[in-house]
Amino acid sequence: MAEEKQTGRWGMVIDLDVCTGCNACVTACAMENNIPWVGEEDAGYGRGMHWIRVQRYWEGEYPEVSPHYQPVMCQQCGRAPCEPVCPVFATVHSEEQQINLQVYNRCIGTRYCANNCPYIARSFNWFDYSQQIPTPMNYYLNPNVTVRRRGVMEKCTFCVQRIYEGQERAKAEGRVVQDGEIVPACAQACPTDAIIFGDLSDPESRVSKAARNQRRYTLLEELGTEPKVTYLKGEGTYGG
């Protein structure tokens, strides 16, 4: 059996120069992670639920204006501001995966984590939306992802269920996880391949090479949160 590789430090690179803002990532995320559709009324009251959103910005001056888009999700911070404020340790850091996890059966809904997240990446589950799904639509729920009850905080996990599945499959086959083998739903659905996911601890992985691109930057870098999501935008060298 091949020596088991210590995979970790999962990360993501999003190339904003090829993102079209189609929201395929948002839809795929909702389907993969059993995120309910709350409707216009609840969204109007600020109860919208999404683990990834696409922010739209406008560049130029009228009439020569053009939009650009930026998908934003939990940045999986290495020094996450959300973790130390949780009184019941429901927001924890995975030493194995090097990502931030949410333990739903510990969460008591204080929302302190959301207040402390500078990326506004967390959603509070106000109602039992999953119980309102009519039959047979409930069969579309992903059995590999917890169906959350009301009163808990939710967020992106980098599709950790897919990470576990890929690692277990590789272990059973006596090999290491290959670069590009594990792909979260948002990256899989992106029609322009703007989202790259992989192991940042492997300097030869596609995501590591993309993270070294001259166009790289991270959100709110001045806060020192050490996010695992890197963005590419604008000037610099392409493809390097």
Look at residue 46 and tell me if it is in a domain: yes
Residue range 88-116: mean pLDDT, rounded = 93
- Split into its structural domains, the chain has a count of 1
Look at residue 240 and tell me if it is in a domain: no
- As a whole number of angstroms, the distance between CA 226 and CA 75 comes to 9
- Helix (H, G, I), strand (E, B), or coil: what is residue 53? strand
- Average pLDDT score, the chain: 91
Look at residue 4 and tell me if it is in a domain: no
Residue range 156-169: mean pLDDT, rounded = 96
Query: Above 90 in pLDDT, residue 81?
Result: yes
Half-sphere exposure for 2 (CA within 13 Å, toward CB): 12
Q: 12-16, 186-190, 200-204: which has the minimum mean pLDDT?
A: 200-204
Q: Assign residue 27 the CATH number of its domain.
A: 3.30.70.20
Look at residue 192 and tell me if it is in a domain: yes
**Mind listing the pLDDT tens digit for each residue in 40-74?**
999 999 899 999 999 999 988 988 899 999 999 99
Q: What is the pTM of this model?
A: 0.89
Look at residue 238 and tell me if it is in a domain: no
Range of the domain at 83: 10-232
Q: 8-12, 205-209, 232-236: which has the minimum mean pLDDT?
A: 232-236
Question: What does DSSP say about strands 229-232 and 10-15: parallel, antiparallel, or unpaired?
Answer: parallel
Look at residue 30 and tell me if it is in a domain: yes
CB burial of residue 207 (10 Å; 0-12, 13-18, 19+): buried
Look at residue 59 and tell me if it is in a domain: yes
Q: What are phi and psi of 197, to 5 degrees?
A: -130, 145
Look at residue 3 and tell me if it is in a domain: no
Residue range 152-161: mean pLDDT, rounded = 96
What confidence category does residue 87 fall into, taking pLDDT thresholds of 50, 70 and 90?
A: very high
Q: Which of 110, 73, 71 is nearest to 89 (CA)?
A: 110
- As a whole number of angstroms, the distance between CA 194 and CA 22 comes to 11
- For residues 240 and 152, the model is more confident at 152
